[in-house]
Amino acid sequence: MDVQVTTTILLVRHGQTNANAGGFYMGWSDEDLNELGYTQARRLSSRLASLPIASIFTSPLKRAYTTAMILAEPHKLGLTVLDDLTEIQLGDWQGLHMDKIKQRWPELWRQSRIDPSGLTMPNGESYRQVTERAIRVFKMVIEANRGKQAVIVTHEVIVKVLLAHVLGVSNSIYRRIEVDNASLSLIRVSNNPQLVMLNDTSHLES
């Protein structure tokens, strides 16, 4: 008889950056955390310090990598950097303020605020492409950490499409999910993955 093994995935969005705070779309730009972002990452690190975390996987972009490094310190763990955890490639939107995007691509912007699941960023990636690579890396992390706890540090789009995957629904729910900077979502996998905690930021409260 097979013994049921439970794997826990701690899904983390990186800490705040100046672009996040200012309403700019970052995509693949390599901005580091701002001062508040470092504080957020340290607070989350303190929260996770006593957990038996076996491994930490991160996007290569600096804002995620820095967050992951801070989370890894109490556990004396190295980081596994995975390109599939990189944020969506925004193409022509990268580095622009939301007001400029709204002005230049009014229809695309409107759709992105309602249901972006069918969109392809102008000269960038589609949500379908992002979802495929996010699910691929999610399954790999589960397989590599059977019966253990692992942390994935990544970006808003990756977190949201993974949450939709775990819930067994389409990305049309994208705008109904809030995923804040340095938030923690927890997924437990035995047979089917289960969302146990969503967008928890209690560690950031003063």
1, part of any domain = no
Catalytic residue among 75, 87, 156, 165: 87
Could you tell me if 145 and 56 are in contact, meaning their C-beta atoms sit under 8 angstroms apart?
Answer: no
Phi, psi of 24 (to 5 degrees): -95, 145
Residue 12 lies in a domain: yes
**Strands 149-154, 7-13: parallel, antiparallel or unpaired by DSSP?**
parallel
Is 2 inside any structural domain?
Answer: no
CB-neighbour burial class of residue 178 (10 A; exposed 0-12, middle 13-18, buried 19+) = exposed
Q: What mean pLDDT is predicted for residues 114-135? A: 96
What is the number of structural domains in the chain? 1
Per-residue pLDDT band for 124 (boundaries 50, 70, 90) equals very high
> Which residue would you say has higher pLDDT here, 192 or 156?
156
pLDDT surpassing 60 at residue 178: yes
pLDDT at 2 > cutoff 80 = no
Q: Is residue 127 part of a domain?
A: yes
For residues 176 and 33, what is the distance between their CA atoms, to the nearest angstrom?
26
Q: In which domain, by residue range, is 37 found? A: 7-204
List, in sequence order, the alpha helices (H) in the chain.
18-22, 35-48, 62-72, 98-104, 106-114, 127-144, 156-167
Q: What is the DSSP letter of 95?
A: T
For 65-79, what is each residue's pLDDT tens digit? Answer: 999 999 999 999 999
Instruction: Tell me the average pLDDT across 162-172.
Output: 96
- Which of 14, 75, 155, 165 is the catalytic position? 14
* Within-domain flag for 18: yes
Q: What is the mean pLDDT of residues 132-140?
A: 97
**Would you place residue 192 in the very low, low, confident or very high pLDDT band (cuts 50, 70, 90)?**
confident
Q: Is 87 a catalytic residue?
A: yes
CATH number at residue 21: 3.40.50.1240
Q: What is the mean pLDDT of residues 9-14?
A: 98
Q: Is 14 annotated as catalytic?
A: yes
User: Has residue 112 been placed in a domain?
Assistant: yes
Q: Examine the pLDDT at 3 and tell me if it is beyond 70.
A: no
Asked if the model's pLDDT at residue 1 lies above 50, the reply is no
- Is residue 142 in a domain? yes
